[in-house]
Amino acid sequence: MAPEGDREAQAIQPRYLGLARAELSARARTARSLMRACRSCPRACGVDRAGGEVGTCGTARLAIVDAAFPHRGEESCLSGWRGSGTIFFAHCNLECVFCQNWEISQIGVGREYAADELASAMLRLQLEGCHNINLVTPEHVVPQVVEGLVAAIGAGLRLPVVYNTSAYDALDSLRLLDGLIDIYMPDFKFWERDTAARLCGAADYPDRAREAIAEMHRQVGPLLLDDQGIARRGVLVRHLVLPGHLAESAAIFRWLACEVSPATYVNVMDQYRPAYRVRRASVPRRLAKDAAEEADDRAEDLVDPADRSADRAAGGLAGRQADEFRDIARRPRGEELCAARAAARAAGLWRFADEG
């Protein structure tokens, strides 16, 4: 039977309401201990974040939040008519060369939030009427998220919680979240290790994403919508269609249908556009001049020093980047988007977000 519009889903309560107070306190303690010799995400840097050290993700003891607001532009099953209570975390454990939010993910625009401030933000979004709490880019701040959630639950949080992730997640972190998260929304980006190494700086991304999505599905199963079309529990997989990468899209869809479930709810996204290192001319206007210069420095840091002198001889960093990512320096064509959607159906998937 189709899980959409299930009347029983109407009665589904957030999973954390089934956890005893002692269990919630234990989760918060475990979360704090994870920050010493940090292995909160697959980078496994081993730094002492509790002691102020910083790993690849650029975040130490406290999470940095860029914004917290009712988001009306997410999938309709999340935004509904009152918005999705979105909390955007700054920094990221990936370095996607086309990131459209790179001033947040790579520079870390925002300010530090202690656990009680995170809890207050969640409770404010609940008071504003949001349908859920939507944690965006949380992979590197799972300990801080757990601390904040435990505090918010103790103070009266009653909304389902969405974990909105790149899927570059550590299994230990996902297990710590088991029972706290109602809706997992992983973005499965690349199928090939070479592509992942080149475009997000993590060759193991496809392996970690498969493990993570399987674990998410084990915890919450396929997406359940209530009779008003609002998501209450389950997995929603996003896939951003890249130009010229249809074979990887098709492999991802086949894996989802065969190894996870053909009832997996999928958003085949058409929003890709060249940004960040793929199109450096797209520097957002909101960036202050010094932040833009910092971004330039960071982009240069990402280049192998051995390449740099040859790069300068060839005309500079911008020229090199334009060449390196020329294959994805365009939007996907209409026929590529149609072919990706057809590949998803051919794989056996049948539940798609926001289709007529």
Applying CB under 6 A, the residues found at the interface with ligand SF4 are 38-41, 43-45, 47, 49, 55-57, 93, 140
Q: How far apart are CA 326 and CA 321, in angstroms?
A: 8
Q: How far apart are CA 147 and CA 49, in angstroms?
A: 15
> Nearer Cβ to ligand SF4, position 47 or 268?
47
Structure tokens of 348? 């056996």
Q: How far apart are CA 261 and CA 215, in angstroms?
A: 13
Strands 133-136 and 265-269: unpaired
- Residue 120 carries which side chain, given as an amino acid letter? S
DSSP-derived letter for residue 260 is I
Q: Is the Cβ–Cβ distance between 35 and 61 less than 8 Å?
A: yes
CB of 46 to ligand SF4, least distance (A): 7
CB of 73 to ligand SF4, least distance (A): 27
Strands 265-269 and 351-352: parallel
Instruction: Name 162's bridge partners.
Output: 134, 183
CB of 93 to ligand SF4, least distance (A): 4
CB of 176 to ligand SF4, least distance (A): 13
Q: In terms of C-beta density within 10 A (0-12 exposed, 13-18 middle, 19 or more buried), how is residue 213 classed?
A: buried
CB of 197 to ligand SF4, least distance (A): 17
Nearest residue to the partner ligand SF4, using Cβ: 55
> Nearer Cβ to ligand SF4, position 58 or 222?
58
DSSP-derived letter for residue 258 is I
CB of 45 to ligand SF4, least distance (A): 3
> Nearer Cβ to ligand SF4, position 94 or 317?
94
> Nearer Cβ to ligand SF4, position 86 or 137?
137
> Nearer Cβ to ligand SF4, position 41 or 185?
41
> Nearer Cβ to ligand SF4, position 52 or 305?
52
